Amino acid sequence: MKSVITCEINGEPRDALADGRDTLLELLRDRLGLTGTKEGCGNGNCGACTVLMNGEPVCACLVLAGEAHGAKITTIEGIARGNTLHPVQSALIAHGGTQCGFCTPGIVLSAVALLDRNPHPSPHEIRHAIAGNLCRCTGYDKIVEAIAAVAHGTNIDVKPAP
Amino acid sequence: MQELAYERPTTIAKAVALMARDGARALAGGSDLIPQLREGRRSASVIVDLKHIPALNDFRREPDGTWRIGAALSVAKLGAHAEFAREHAALLASARMIGSLQIQARATLAGNLCNAAPSADAVPLLIALEAIVEIISADGVLSRAGVESIATGPGQTSLVPGDLVTTVLLPPPEPRSAACYLRFTPRREMDIAIAGSGVVLRLDDKGVIANAKIFLASVAPKPMRASTAQSLLIGQKPSAALFTAAGAAAAAECRPISDTRGSADYRRELVAVLTRRALADCARQLGVMLP
């Protein structure tokens, strides 16, 4: 059974026809062509599909497309301003916080959500905020360094307590 | 996966009517239900989204101090209430063990309960704190049930088709009582408890244990009361030796299985240690120096 989903994606009103079984992830990738949001596990463990729904980070694979009707969604495509990267994106590049890149869109959204509600997080708070975003390449330290550099305007020691 | 109709009622009456349809299933956060549907582990043909019903987003205190928590209220919103966070810090901490922030933005206490996973982190303390749920049946009858009666086995509940859990009612903590839930996971975050132990301890005026409630996670088909350990504690003065004995009793009476996450023997060891530590944490909260 298909129905029309109307929501605001990256600040623009969008309509899309979705099946009742579709997830928000399928709505974004397959119906709207916004393929920056990645599918990793498809069951909420990896966080690769993290988007903001009404400002909160959610796994798009755990939201039905119907639930997004009337919601404000931010995807990785809505993070840069034209050709100007978001500071989190620039910092990830500068710190080598991305390797294969598959987890990066989700990491960026989790980091942006963190900094929106807590502009100066501690290294522990940064690690907690991205705990739902698995990265199999970097070992996380460079990602945490990048987010900390945005938050504090400088490079700080982010090593976890032993 | 079969065809799915997504419904978004805005009143309890409309939700109850929808729940009476064949194959209806309530959707709160969906962090368990949606992957279960997609992986064929549960089936449904009508999804009744509870999140747009104002009464099911309730989060307030009743005049008698009981917290009224709507079935659609996310764990993230539960943490945003400073008074609740102070009064029920241990329960909130256990709810914040559920998945990541992405999961907690969606997941609900009622969902954690009705999903009926033996490992559900928020449930041991919900039971120990004597939470009650309000249920509306398909014919519109409101009833109340203790949280302990909901889960009957892995993924199984005592709810009948058409039943809608609308609210979790959580009484205020009793004077001179403390709560603590501890679990063990190989990873610090984003993991499922190999074993967990939720404890509520209450002392009388003389510092004697007036009541003890212990509920274990992941070591039985449902959250399990450690009755022997409880009776060992009641009427005694808190001590390290007593808590060690209670932990050993809980380990002896739990009924774990061996699976990919841990062997039954390992789980028993964990129950002994977690129960002892949770009891000691309660004693610390109550200002008791353990002999």
Say if the Cβ atoms of A67 and B102 lie within 8 Å: no
Residue B49 belongs to some domain of the structure = no
Q: How confident is residue A162, by pLDDT bands cut at 50, 70 and 90? A: low
H or E element, residue B197? strand B195-203
CA-wise closest residue to B120 among B145, B160, B143, B150: B150
Residue A37 and residue A73 share a domain: yes
What is the number of structural domains in chain A? 2
Inside any domain, residue B52? no
Q: Is residue B40 part of a domain?
A: no
Residues A72 and A9 in one domain: yes
Of the candidates B4, B29, B190, which has its C-beta nearest A20's C-beta? B4
Does a structural domain hold residue B38? no
Query: Per the CB < 8 Å rule, is B105 touching A56?
Result: yes
B23 touches chain A (CB under 8 A): no
Structural domain boundaries enclosing B105: 57-170
Q: How many CB pairs under 8 A join A and B?
A: 95
Judged by phi (left if over 0) then psi (alpha if -120 to 50, else beta), residue A11 lies in left
What are the pLDDT digits (tens) for B156-165? Answer: 999 999 999 9
Percent of chain B residues past pLDDT 70, beyond the cut: 100
Query: Domain of B273: which CATH number?
Result: 3.30.390.50
Do B71 and B156 lie in one domain? The reply is yes
Amino acid at B238: P
Longest CA–CA span in chain A (Å) reads 53
A18 and A63 belong to one structural domain: yes
Do A25 and A44 have their domain in common? Answer: yes
- Domain identity same for A9 and A67: yes
Q: Which residues of A touch B18 (CB under 8 A)?
A: none
CB contact under 8 A, B6 and A23: no
The enclosing domain of A65 has a CATH number of: 3.10.20.30
Q: Per-residue pLDDT for B189 more than 90?
A: no
Q: Mutation test of the interface with chain B: which of A7, A67, A73, A124, choosing the one with the most B Cβ atoms within 10 A?
A: A67
Residues A128-139 have a mean pLDDT of: 95
pLDDT tens-digit readout, B214-259: 999 999 999 999 999 999 999 999 999 999 999 999 999 999 999 9
A147 is in which domain, residue-wise? 87-152
DSSP secondary structure code for residue B64 in this structure: T
Tell me which of A15, A44, A77 is where a domain ends: A77
User: Domain for residue A43, yes or no?
Assistant: yes
- Identify the three-state secondary structure at position A111: helix
Would you state the structure tokens that stand for residue B31, as one six-digit string? Answer: 């962090």
- CATH number of domain containing A136: 1.10.150.120
Strand pairing of B209-217 and B195-203? antiparallel
The pLDDT value recorded for residue B188 is 82
Asked if residue A139 and residue A107 are part of one domain, the reply reads yes
Determine, yes or no, domain membership for A21: yes
Closest-CA residue of chain A to B31? A62
A50 interfaces chain B, CB cutoff of 8 Å? yes
- Residue A132 sits at the chain B interface (C-beta within 8 Å): yes
Question: Is residue B26, in this structure, part of any structural domain at all?
Answer: no
**pLDDT confidence of residue A4:** 97
Last residue in a domain, options B170, B186, B202: B170
Look at residue A155 and tell me whether its pLDDT is greater than 80. Answer: no
User: How far off is chain A from B83, nearest CA to CA, in Å?
Assistant: 20
Domain shared by A42 and A22, yes or no: yes
Q: Tens digits of per-residue pLDDT, B21-71?
A: 999 999 999 999 999 999 999 999 999 999 999 999 999 999 999 999 999
A8 within some domain:
yes
Contacts of A64 in chain B (CB under 8 A): 4, 6, 27, 30, 34, 47, 49
The answer as to whether B1 is a domain residue is: no
Q: What is the total count of domains within chain B?
A: 2
Position A31 in a domain: yes
